[in-house]
Amino acid sequence: MADRIEGVKKLFTSKSARVETNMGDAHYEKLFQSCQARIEELKTQTPRENRLDIDSFLDDQGVNRRDFMKWASAVTGMLMLPSSFTPLVADAALLMNRAPVIWLELSDCAGNTEAILRSDGPKIDEILLDIISLEFNETIMAASGHQAEKQLEDAIHTFKGKYLLFVEGAIPMGLDGQYGTIGAHAETFYDHLMRISKDAAAVVAVGSCATFGGVPAASPNPTQAVGVMDVLKGKPLINIPACPANPANMVGVIIHYILTGQVPELDSLLRPKFAFGYRIHDNCERRAHFDAGEFVEEWGDHGAKHNHCLYKVGCKGPMTFNNCSIIRYNEGVNWPIGVGRGCIGCSEPDFWDKYAHERPISSVNIKAPTGGVEKTVDEFGLGLLTAASIGIGIHAVASVIAGKTENKEY
Ligand code: SF4
Ligand code: SF4
């Protein structure tokens, strides 16, 4: 037994491959200077007309300077920058109305737009999302038809080469793209994306559909839906997956862009490492139960009532890279595992087909993952990650510790 406990310890305490947060003083000093210069330059630019003054808007919403700086400090940490960057992050937030955003809606449920719109007692992130220079978002704008089209064309023209293009939704490629068309000329979603991304400074794919195809691409994928990264080449592209994407990560990407003028460090799936550099499982409040081999075996059982680990009822937290276990949803109040529902891996490719079921990914062929489990997606390699290896190793060791002998194959 002692060997097995040691085995588990080794599995979970091997050198963490979380994002390297200390890149050295010289790196941060240089970055600080370039961010400072960029912020000063942005301050000289006039805010977009019709944009609210952020200082007074925050005041109106009852957010005082102290709250705001606390928030800026948390965002600095989230972006994995040293605390000395906090004043710069605060300045970048106050300059959010200098970054024009165009938002496209393709094959999806508009859940990501819904996520940023929820406004019951808004947090600072949400207030800021109200204030960004959102030049076009057909779901929430008042204009429609030709008026809306004109607004889009004007925005592309006015901010040529400067706008961030947020894309929500997959791109249906079947029937020459005819499963999804937009406007009076029935432009396909594919052509629409290609045309509007051409003059964007960078493209941000938001939500699982835009990043990896999501639910529209689930088997049998009748419209042959794909994610933006499958069709868009030669443009800076940032993926913010999840279903929906967390508004905190959207704000984080915009602030990082304002601050540095660059895309953040990305993993091999083009996800910002500050948000997707570690797994749900690494920061889960039920982790101690996992390590102790205490699982929910059936819904409503003793384990469920005592908040035990949800792995055996299908939690895919060990395979899923996302920061929702830290950032949470609904004003940070809770998140799926917190309310007793296992993670379905919504920030991973093909999650609907691979992960969204209430069974663990495990088999009798027990095999520990090579090199431990505390690794980023890049270090695992996608094959290892999406094959059952991680789940098999974890399930096996934990079950043995719990004295479980059954070897069910799902
Ligand atoms: S398997 Fe799921 S519920 Fe269990 S510790 Fe990991 S993330 Fe949390
Ligand atoms: S817990 Fe898992 S399924 Fe739920 S939002 Fe987070 S990554 Fe997505």
Q: Which helix (H) or strand (E) holds 50?
A: none
Question: Do 245 and 140 share a structural domain?
Answer: yes
- Which of 281, 283, 325, 344 has most ligand 1 atoms within 8 Å of CB, for mutation? 281
Given pLDDT bands bounded at 50, 70 and 90, which one contains residue 148?
confident
CATH classification of the domain holding 210: 3.40.50.700
User: Alpha-carbon Rg of the chain, whole angstroms?
Assistant: 22
More confident site: 61 or 67: 67
Given pLDDT bands bounded at 50, 70 and 90, which one contains residue 146?
confident
Residue 27 CA, distance from chain mean position: 26
Task: Give the end of a domain, one of 275, 306, 335.
Answer: 275
Question: 139 CB contacts (<8 Å, ≥6 apart)?
Answer: 103, 105, 110, 113
- Which of 307, 310, 392 has most ligand 1 atoms within 8 Å of CB, for mutation? 310
* Omega of the bond leading into 222 within 30 degrees of 0 (cis): no
pLDDT in tens, 336-346: 999 999 999 99
DSSP track, 248-317: HHHHHHHHHHHHHSSPPPB-TTS-BHHHHSSBGGGG-TTHHHHHTT-B--STTSHHHHTT-B-GGGT--G
| Positive or negative torsion for Cα 309, 312, 315, 316 | positive
Task: Give the end of a domain, one of 237, 256, 275.
Answer: 275
Which DSSP letter does residue 165 get?
Answer: E
Q: For position 385, what pLDDT does the model report?
A: 42
Q: Do β-strands 181-182 and 187-188 pair in parallel, antiparallel, or remain unpaired?
A: antiparallel
The set of protein residues with a Cβ atom below 6 angstroms from ligand 2 is 242, 280, 320, 322, 324, 335-337, 343-347
List Cα–Cα distances, 289 to 188, 286, 309, in angstroms.
49, 6, 5
Strand residue runs (E) in 126-235: 133-137, 164-168, 171-172, 181-182, 187-188, 202-206, 225-226
Q: For position 15, what pLDDT does the model report?
A: 43
List Cα–Cα distances, 50 to 125, 133, 138, 149, 394, in angstroms.
20, 9, 18, 20, 54
Answer whether residue 69 is part of any domain. no
Mean of per-residue pLDDT scores for the chain: 79
Which DSSP letter does residue 243 get?
Answer: S
Range among 57-71, 125-139, 189-203 with highest mean pLDDT value = 189-203
For residue 292, the enclosing domain spans 2-17+277-401
Q: Which helix (H) or strand (E) holds 100?
A: strand 100-105
> Is any ligand 1 atom within 6 A of the Cβ of residue 315?
yes
Q: Once rounded to an integer, what is the mean pLDDT over residues 135-145? A: 76
pLDDT in tens, 155-166: 899 889 989 999
Task: Give the end of a domain, one of 255, 275, 295.
Answer: 275
The closest ligand to the CA of 309 turns out to be 1
> Is any ligand 1 atom within 6 A of the Cβ of residue 317?
yes
Answer whether residue 386 is part of any domain. yes
> Residue 204 in contact with residue 240, Cβ under 8 Å?
yes
Q: For position 293, what pLDDT does the model report?
A: 82
Residues 152-172 as b/e (b if ≥16 CB within 10 A, e otherwise) read: beebbeebeeebbbbbbbbbb
Q: For position 47, what pLDDT does the model report?
A: 64
Question: Do 122 and 108 share a structural domain?
Answer: yes
d(CA 317, CA 330): 20
> Is any ligand 1 atom within 6 A of the Cβ of residue 103?
no
Answer whether residue 71 is part of any domain. no
Q: For position 38, what pLDDT does the model report?
A: 93
The closest ligand to the CA of 315 turns out to be 1
User: What is the total count of domains within the chain?
Assistant: 2
Q: Once rounded to an integer, what is the mean pLDDT over residues 268-296? A: 89
Which residue type is seen at 72? A
What's the 326 CA to ligand 1 centre distance in angstroms? 13
Question: Do 149 and 293 share a structural domain?
Answer: no
Q: For position 233, what pLDDT does the model report?
A: 93
- Which of 282, 306, 324, 337 has most ligand 1 atoms within 8 Å of CB, for mutation? 337
Q: For position 193, what pLDDT does the model report?
A: 97
Give the position, in ligand 2's atom list, of the atom nearest the Cα of 351: 3
Q: For position 403, what pLDDT does the model report?
A: 35
Q: For position 72, what pLDDT does the model report?
A: 86
Residue 75: what are its φ and ψ, rounded to 5°?
A: -65, -40
Which residue type is seen at 122? P
- Which of 343, 355, 358, 390 has most ligand 1 atoms within 8 Å of CB, for mutation? 343
Q: Is the pLDDT of residue 383 over 50?
A: no
What's the 313 CA to ligand 2 centre distance in angstroms? 15
Question: Do 220 and 240 share a structural domain?
Answer: yes
Q: For position 364, what pLDDT does the model report?
A: 29
Question: Do 295 and 266 share a structural domain?
Answer: no
CATH classification of the domain holding 300: 4.10.480.10
**Region at 269 (left for phi over 0; alpha for psi -120 to 50; beta for the rest):** alpha
Give the position, in ligand 1's atom list, of the atom nearest the Cα of 337: 3
Answer whether residue 177 is part of any domain. yes
What's the 170 CA to ligand 2 centre distance in angstroms? 19
Answer whether residue 222 is part of any domain. yes
- Nearest Cα residue to atom 1 of ligand 1: 311
Q: For position 368, what pLDDT does the model report?
A: 32
Answer whether residue 110 is part of any domain. yes
Answer whether residue 363 is part of any domain. yes
The closest ligand to the CA of 310 turns out to be 1
- Nearest Cα residue to atom 6 of ligand 2: 324
More confident site: 376 or 228: 228
Q: Once rounded to an integer, what is the mean pLDDT over residues 94-119? A: 82
| Positive or negative torsion for Cα 400, 403, 407, 410 | negative
Q: For position 171, what pLDDT does the model report?
A: 98
Q: Is the pLDDT of residue 370 over 70?
A: no
Threshold 0.85, pTM exceeds: no
More confident site: 360 or 233: 233
Which residue type is seen at 118? R
d(CA 200, CA 156): 8
Answer whether residue 187 is part of any domain. yes
Give the position, in ligand 1's atom list, of the atom nearest the Cα of 317: 7
More confident site: 407 or 83: 83
Q: Which helix (H) or strand (E) holds 228?
A: helix 228-231
Q: Is the pLDDT of residue 70 over 50?
A: yes
More confident site: 112 or 187: 187
pLDDT in tens, 197-208: 999 999 999 999
